[in-house]
Amino acid sequence: MSDDAEISIKAELVRKGIHLLALVIPVGYYLMPFPAAIISLSLSAIISILIDLSRFNNWWLWKRCSFILRPIIRDHEVKGGFTGASYILSTSALSMVLFPKEIAIAAITFIIIGDTAAALVGRTWGTHKIIGKKTVEGSSACLVSLILVSFLIPGLPLAVAIPGAIGATLAETFSGKIDDNLAVPIVSGVIMLLIMSGMGYPQAVFFAPFR
């Protein structure tokens, strides 16, 4: 993330620990049919967005949650930006709608694992800058972790998953002002969909769950 220095290392560890808990999304989607998964995830996204809106407007809901959430929220989020939770829940739902199940699972997993690896390694050992606050060390950790994850995605050929992992790393590194929780799953998902379609897989179409 581009704003890692805004919060302490301890807060970053807490934030990324929570981020890793989001692995329940791809695991849950693997175990659940599309309708149940999209409904539950959409409700979670709505709740997260409502908390953000409460923060923007100082509504009672934020007053109840602020003592827990404020220490791990970045400065740009405090000033009016949506949190990573709202982004990842919303874009995970969008990925489920746009892509076949195996690609959606991979794309969502890539942002959860890749962002965590990049942030923690980049903050701890990152010294060689690429762009902004992104570092060679952080991006390398992202790529290595995602290539390893590629071997674990059920039903997805490595010839599809590894280019997706590379695309996810590039999106995480060069997302700029676009939140990487949005850029990574969409960019990697489109790459994997195009490759899978070129390989002749009939399910490799946009909006596959509705076909």
Query: Residue 129: what pLDDT?
Result: 93
Which pLDDT score, from 0 to 100, does residue 57 have? 78
Do residues 108 and 26 lie in contact, with contact meaning Cβ atoms separated by under 8 Å? yes
Q: Residue 161 carries which side chain, given as an amino acid letter?
A: A
How far apart are the C-alpha atoms of 29 and 46, rounded to whole Å? Answer: 18
Collect all residues with Cβ–Cβ distance below 8 Å to 51 and sequence separation of at least 6: 61, 62, 65, 69, 83, 86
CB 105 within 8 A of CB 29: yes
- The residue among 185, 190, 204, 205 whose CA lies nearest residue 89 is 185
Measure the CA–CA gap between 162 and 154, rounded to whole angstroms: 13
User: pLDDT by residue (tens digit) across 11-37?
Assistant: 666 666 776 889 999 999 999 999 999
- Each residue's pLDDT tens digit, 84-117: 789 999 999 999 999 999 999 999 999 999 999 9
d(CA 195, CA 75): 39
Measured from the Cβ of residue 31, the count of other Cβ atoms closer than 10 Å reads 9
pLDDT along the chain (211 residues), means of 10: 51 67 95 97 94 79 61 54 86 97 98 92 90 92 97 96 98 89 96 97 96 89
Backbone angles phi, psi at 175, to 5 degrees: -65, -25
Exposure class string for 40-64: b at 16+ Cβ within 10 A, else e:
ebbebbeebbebbebbeeeeebbee
Token look-up 């050929």 returns 157
pLDDT in the model for residue 2 = 42
Q: What is the pLDDT of residue 68?
A: 59
pLDDT on residue 77: 56
